[in-house]
Structure 1
Amino acid sequence: MVVLLDELTRESAVAAMRALEVELFGNHAWSEAAIRQELDAPGRTYVFDVEPDAMTSGGPAEPIYVPAEAVRGFAGYWYDGDDAEIMDIGVSKAHQRQGIAAMMMESLIEHAREQGARRMLLEVSVENAPAIALYQRFGFKNIGLRKRYYQPEGIDAHVMALDLEPHIVGFTSAQQQDDTDNQKEIR
C-alpha cells in the first residue's frame, strides 16, 4: 500500500528509510541526519510502500506509526516549480521484482503532475539495468551522462527525463497560434 510521508509518523518514516538505505546502498547510505534534512526540506514529496496489515493503528488524519520492517520501499522527489527531480528510491531486497517500485513511480508521477511539474528528472547508475528498464518503461529518456557521478567508485550516471506535459519543439505556425488564441477567448 503506497502512502504519503505525512500519513506516517516522522520517526517511523525516518527509521524505515534509514534501514532501507543501509540495506540497499551500504557505504553510500544516507545518514539519519541526512534523511531528516531531506524529508524536512521544502518542495519534497515522499511516498512509502507499507505492508497493508501494518496500517491499522492511528485515527483519522493522524499519522500512523509503523515498524521499519513493515516498510517495503520509499521514493521521493524535489519539485522546484518547474521540474520534479527524483532524489531517492529504494525497495527492500526481499520485495524487489514485485511491482512496488512501479507503484511508487506511478504515485510520484501523479503527484508531480498535480503540482504542475513540466517534467521529471533523475540520475541512475549506468550499471543499474533493472532501474534503467523501469524508468524506460515509464517513458524516461536519456538526456545526458554525468561522468564519475557515483563516488568513490567513479561510476557514471545517466541523466533521464520524462516530459509530464507536452511541449513544443521549434516554432508553432501562425495558424496554430491563432487557433490556440481563439480557443482561449472562447473559454
Structure 2
Amino acid sequence: MLLALDDLDRETAVAAVRALETELFGCHAWSERAIRDELAAPARTYLFDVPDAVGGQGRAIAASDVRGFAGYWYDGDDAEIMDVGVGKAHQRQGIALGLMRAMIDRARLEGARRMLLEVAVDNEPAIALYERLGFERIGLRRRYYQPEGIDAHVMALELAPHPVGFAVPQRANDEQTN
C-alpha cells in the first residue's frame, strides 16, 4: 500500500527514511537534518510503501513498517527524483517499480513534462528498473558520488510530448483545402 507523506506522522516519515538510508547507503546516507529539510521543502512529493495489512488496520504506522520510499521535486516543468530506497529484505518484490510508477503518474497529473534522475553507473539493478520504465540516458556526471568519485548517469523520461517545429492548427488547414 502506498501512502503519501501527509498520510504519515512526520516523525515516523523521518525515522523511516533515515533507517532505510542508513541500511542502503551507509556513510552516504542522508543525515536526519537533511531528511527533515528535504521532507519540509516546497514542491516535494514523497510516497511510502507499507504492507497492506499494516496500512489497512487503522493503527498508527511505525517507521519499521515502511518497506520503501521515493520522492521527487517538481519545479513547474521537470520532476526531479530526489531519493528512492527499498529495504534489502523487500527488494526484488516490485516495490521500487510501484513507487516509481506512482510518482510518474503523479508528476504527469501535476503537469510535469519530463522526469529526471541521477544514478550511479555501477547500480545495475536501478539502471535496469529505470530503463524498464522508459528512462533514457541523457548525460554523465563525472565523479558525482563522493568521496569514491563514482560517475552518475543522468536519465530522463519524457512525460508530455514536446512540439517540434511549427504546426498549422487543424481548422486553418481545413479552410485552406476548401
Query: Could you say what secondary structure the match of 2:168 adopts?
Result: helix
Using the TM superposition, give the Cα deviation of residue 53 of structure 1 relative to its aligned residue in structure 2, in angstroms: 2.2
Q: Give TM-score scaled by structure 1 length.
A: 0.88
Work out which of the residue numbers 83, 89, 92 in structure 1 matches 2:87: 92
Long gaps (5+) in structure 1: 59-64
Cα-to-partner distance string for 1:12-34 (whole Å, 9 max, x where unaligned):
11111100000000000011111
Within 5 Å, give how 1:1-187 maps onto structure 2: 1-55=1-55, 56-57=57-58, 65-169=60-164, 171-172=165-166, 176-179=167-170
Using the TM superposition, give the Cα deviation of residue 180 of structure 1 relative to its aligned residue in structure 2, in angstroms: 7.1
1:103 maps to amino acid: G
- Distance of 2:87 and 2:171 partners within structure 1: 48
2:125 maps to amino acid: P
Using the TM superposition, give the Cα deviation of residue 54 of structure 1 relative to its aligned residue in structure 2, in angstroms: 1.9
Q: 1:99 to 1:181 in 2, by over 3 A?
A: farther
Q: 1:180 to 1:148 in 2, by over 3 A?
A: farther
Runs of 4+ deviating beyond 6 Å: 180-183
Q: 1:182 to 1:135 in 2, by over 3 A?
A: same
Using the TM superposition, give the Cα deviation of residue 132 of structure 1 relative to its aligned residue in structure 2, in angstroms: 0.3
2:104 maps to amino acid: I
Q: Give TM-score scaled by structure 2 length.
A: 0.93
- Distance of 2:148 and 2:95 partners within structure 1: 28
Query: Could you say what secondary structure the match of 2:6 adopts?
Result: helix
Using the TM superposition, give the Cα deviation of residue 182 of structure 1 relative to its aligned residue in structure 2, in angstroms: 7.2
Query: Could you say what secondary structure the match of 2:103 adopts?
Result: helix
Q: How many residues align?
A: 173
